[in-house]
């Protein structure tokens, strides 16, 4: 079983819809990252969070440490949001390694 599980694996939405992508992990962590990977492959770090909630524009990320769960929300989705969204967790202590989920492919249709 992968240490980081994302759901759904694939998600298709209509422009304007509210999107939620979920991430569950099974190990203790010091931080969780949400990353965006476009078809060309480049990766952009969207959020790094260790507690609570962060918001940037139309993107919102939340984390519940007790439940080992995080969600990424996109409000008023747009076709340009189409990408793979990846959840990655960093271990505790001096372990800086990231363990990645398999990603969620989001397609937003106009």
Partner 1 sequence: GAVVSQHPSRVICKSGTSVKIECRSLDFQATTMFWYRQFPKQSLMLMATSNEGSKATYEQGVEKDKFLINHASLTLSTLTVTSAHPEDSSFYICSFGKGSSTDTQYFGPGTRLTVL
Exactly one of 39, 41, 57, 110 binds partner 1 (CB under 8 A); that residue is 41
Q: What span, in angstroms and rounded, lies between the C-alpha atoms of 91 and 33?
A: 12
Q: How far is the CB of 31 from partner 1 (least distance, A)?
A: 6
Beta bridge partners of 90: 31, 98
Give exposure, 95-105, as e/b (b: 16+ Cβ within 10 Å): eeebbebebbe
Q: How far is the CB of 110 from partner 1 (least distance, A)?
A: 26
Q: Does 57 bind partner 1 (CB under 8 A)?
A: no
Matching residue, tokens 């939340």? 62
Q: Which residues bind partner 1 (CB under 8 A)?
A: 2, 30-31, 33, 35, 40-45, 48, 50, 86, 88, 90-98, 100-103
């Amino acid at each position: 079983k992968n240490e980081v599980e994302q759901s759904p694996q694939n998600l298709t939405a209509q422009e304007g819809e509210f999107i939620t992508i979920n991430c569950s992990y099974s190990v203790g962590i010091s931080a969780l990252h949400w990353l965006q990977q476009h078809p060309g492959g480049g990766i952009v770090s969207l959020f790094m969070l260790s507690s609570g909630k962060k918001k940037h524009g139309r993107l919102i990320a939340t984390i519940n440490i007790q439940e080992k769960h995080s969600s990424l929300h996109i409000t008023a989705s747009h076709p340009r949001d189409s990408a793979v969204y990846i959840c990655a967790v960093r271990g505790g202590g001096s372990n800086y390694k990231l363990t990645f989920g398999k990603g969620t492919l989001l397609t937003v249709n106009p």
